[in-house]
Amino acid sequence: MSSTLALLADLPLFPLHTVLFPDGLLPLKIFEARYLDMARDCLREQAPFGVCLLKSGAEVAQPDDPAVPETVGCLAEIEQCDVDNFGMLLIRARGTRRFRLLSHRVEASGLLVGMAERLPDDIPLEGTDALAKFGACAEVLERIIDTIRERDPQSLPFAEPFRFDDPAWVSNRLSEVLQIPLRARQKLMELGDAGARIDIVHHYMQQHQLL
Domains, the chain, with CATH or none: 3-118 (2.30.130.40), 128-207 (1.10.4060.10)
Residue 104, pLDDT > 70, answer yes
pLDDT in tens, 42-86: 999 999 999 999 987 666 656 666 778 999 999 999 999 998 878
Phi-psi category of residue 57: left, alpha or beta, with phi > 0 → left and psi -120 to 50 → alpha: left
Looking at residue 136, its pLDDT comes to 96
Non-local CB neighbours of 192 within 8 Å, separated by 6+ positions: 98, 119, 120, 122, 123
Looking at residue 153, its pLDDT comes to 82
Q: Tell me the residue length of the chain.
A: 211
Mean pLDDT, rounded, of the chain: 91
Query: Does the bond joining 161 to the residue before it have cis omega, within 30 degrees of 0?
Result: yes
Phi-psi category of residue 93: left, alpha or beta, with phi > 0 → left and psi -120 to 50 → alpha: beta
Looking at residue 59, its pLDDT comes to 66
Model pTM?
0.91
Residue 17, pLDDT > 80, answer yes
